[in-house]
Structure 1
Amino acid sequence: MGNYLCLKPATKDEVTTLNTREAPPAHFMIKIESFSVLEKYGIKKYETKEFVATITSGCLNLYRRLIFKFNGKDSDYISVNLAMADTTSLPTNWEVNALFSVFIFNQISGNYLSSTGRTLCFQATKSEWGISKLISRKVLSDPSNGYIIDDRCVFGAEVFVVKREAAIERVLLTNVNTYYNHALEILGFSQLPQRWVSEEFDAGGQKWKILLYPKGNAEGTGSHFSASSSSWGRPVYIDLATINDPNKGFIVKYCCLLNIEINVKAVAHVS
């Protein structure tokens, strides 16, 4: 497999950011009864049964299990790890990136406290990742918070495999620096429609055309003559009174001469 950046979770000392949502977790839920027994007998961790997080291309089922640690390195916090349950069917040097979120059910409000999704990189050499500080034991154990009621609590998880199918765009910028001068003779100017389009012309390896709005465009409508290209222009170019004044010399015998200067600096080639 080729080399590429492997995203990993936050540092072990970072407290997880938690959000609230109404929808339950999509992939797994576990209800722990007699939660106090864990602390009473010094049970340090609990591993859930396997569950299917998602199905990747090729109809390969990826099984996971959650590992709850109640008396880990930092005993003031509950930690939750996600582990690959069975990797025997995966190819040598396998690698799976998954977006992992943990949920805690609030039995008072009826919604869920959820961790911000983290992209974890599972490999043959590291098949288990997790959140070392999901929630403090003090907050979790306080009955007024609603997470443990009658010595019962509910956790959940969502695991989405991040497929490496991102669209890739390649951009090559070519230095052109081409100057182009184009003259337009516009006959019957006073009879032009609201929007007039010139014939196409080449400049810097690109095709261009000029758009004229004899009666104005956008904020210049009714008061200014406007000139624009298909992507850039001037809605207020010159006021109508000035361009139509015969003493100014812009329109002579119903003919207007428009000179266009284009300086193409660079061209982007996208593939």
Structure 2
Amino acid sequence: MSFLGKRMSSTTVRSLRQRSPSSYSLKIQNFSQLENSTLYSDGKYQSRIFSSGGYNWRMILYPKGNNEDNGSDFISMYVKLDSTSLSSKPSTDEVFADFCIFKDPENGYVNQDQCEFGVDVIVAPPPTNWEIISFNNNLHYPKFSWNDQNFSEMKDYRHKSPRFTIEGRQWVIDLYPKAILTRDESKWISIFLSLDESETIEEDEQIFKQAVIRILDPRGLIACKDSSSWGYARFVSMDDLRKTYLDMDGALNIEVEFGVVSTT
């Protein structure tokens, strides 16, 4: 069971164990008498205050069940954080606690009008590490255009675009005139979208992005691919590139448009 602030959520767990409860134990003699006596105090019995994890608590027992919590015909049991614990710690507005209610057949069931209930309360410190991830699909400047001049004369294995900024990150377009990761590399060009080498990311940090990479035709036609990965080893064939996508000066116009970028 878990307790957070002033709200309580409960789950029934049935198991047997030999260890006695570590936080508090409530032994009841003359259980039938308790059933009758609690009818005049909202049907419940509250234990004395006990301490655990630096806070004060009470066990609350409904011998005939808590009708407001669908506990009719059952024995209802709760653990309550004493309000004085919070007033003595004004900087605390939430308490995270896990607790386990003890019910051992040898001790916890009514036997000769006697029974015992127990509880383990474990108070966890407030979280000090957390992660927030958001997906921004309303980018202010989602496009970047690159005019790769004299592409037809380029002999380098890899050509990198000027770096550009999207969502606070520096990006580059990597262009390989001879495709990589393919057997017929001379027939294709590869285009990839990458973080610039100047960017550093934390260990295990992941960045999700979705973008469209386009090669613009001087005559108005477009070759484009939607990239949820980092790019394409076979983006366009060299034959189509030479026939269609190079302008009169042998330049290649590439455009990337981001749709979504994650921030962690």
* TM-score for the superposition, normalised by structure 2: 0.51
Task: Give the conservation status (yes or no) of the 8 Å contact 1:177–1:265.
Answer: no
The Cα shift of 1:73 comes to 5.3
Q: Report if the CA contact (8 A) 2:95-2:126 is conserved.
A: yes
Deviations 1:81-116 (A, max 9, x none): 4141744962679855444534233448xxxxxxxx
> Sequence identity of aligned pairs in percent?
12
Q: 2:49 aligns to what?
A: 50
What amino acid does structure 2 have at the position aligned with 1:52?
S
Deviations 1:246-265 (A, max 9, x none): 9955899xxx8542113467
| Structure 2, gaps ≥5 residues long | 39-43, 195-208, 210-228
Aligned length: 205
CA gap of 1:211–1:95, structure 2 versus 1, over 3 A, is closer
Q: 1:202 to 1:26 in 2, by over 3 A?
A: farther
SS at match of 2:234: strand
CA displacement, residues 106-132 of structure 1 (integer Å, 9 cap, x when unaligned) = 448xxxxxxxxxxxxxxxxxxxxxxxx
Question: C-alpha distance in 1, partners of 2:133/2:241?
Answer: 54
| 2:55 corresponds to | 62
Change (3 A) 1:106 1:160: same
Equivalent-residue separation in structure 1 for 2:254 and 2:90 (angstroms): 63
Q: Distance in 2 between matches of 1:7 and 1:258?
A: 64
1:202 paired with 2:175, answer: no
- Structure 1 CA distance for aligned equivalents of residues 166 and 245 of structure 2: 30
Q: What is the match of residue 120 of structure 2?
A: 157
Q: Is 2:70 the partner of 1:104?
A: no
Within 5 A, what are the aligned runs for 1:1-271? 8-9=7-8, 16-20=10-14, 28-30=23-25, 32=27, 34=29, 37-40=30-33, 42-44=36-38, 45-54=44-53, 61-71=54-64, 74=67, 76-81=73-78, 82-84=80-82, 86-87=84-85, 90=88, 95-99=93-97, 101-107=99-105, 148=109, 150=111, 152-160=115-123, 163=126, 176-177=140-141, 179-185=143-149, 186=151, 192=157, 196=158, 198-202=160-164, 207-213=170-176, 214-217=178-181, 221-222=182-183, 225-230=189-194, 232-238=229-235, 242-243=237-238, 248-249=242-243, 257-263=251-257
Query: C-alpha separation between the residues in 1 aligned to 2:16 and 2:183?
Result: 54
Alpha-carbon distance between aligned partners in 2 of 1:260 and 1:209, rounded to the nearest angstrom: 12
1:184-237 residue CA offsets vs partner (Å, 9 max, x unmatched): 245776762xxx3514333678643112353334xxx33564311125433253
Q: Distance in 2 between matches of 1:156 and 1:205?
A: 50
Q: Is the 8 A contact 1:176 1:267 kept in 2?
A: no
Give the root-mean-square deviation of aligned CA atoms. Answer: 5.2
- 3-state secondary structure, aligned to 1:222: coil
Does the 8 Å contact 2:175/2:191 carry over to 1?
yes
Answer whether contact 2:161 2:174 (CA < 8 A) is retained.
no
Question: How many Å separate the matches in 1 of 2:180 and 2:21?
Answer: 56
CA distance in 2, matches of 1:93, 1:238: 58
User: For the residues of structure 2 that align with 1:187 and 1:27, how far apart are their CA atoms?
Assistant: 78
Amino acid across the alignment from 2:183: G
Q: Does the 8 Å CA contact 1:250/1:257 hold for their aligned counterparts? A: no
CA distance in structure 1 between the aligned counterparts of 2:240 and 2:137, rounded to whole angstroms? 46
Report if aligned partners of 1:176, 1:265 keep a CA contact under 8 Å in 2. Answer: no
Q: Secondary structure at the match of 1:39?
A: helix
- The code of the aligned residue for 2:74 comes to Y
Write the letter of the residue equivalent to 1:64: W
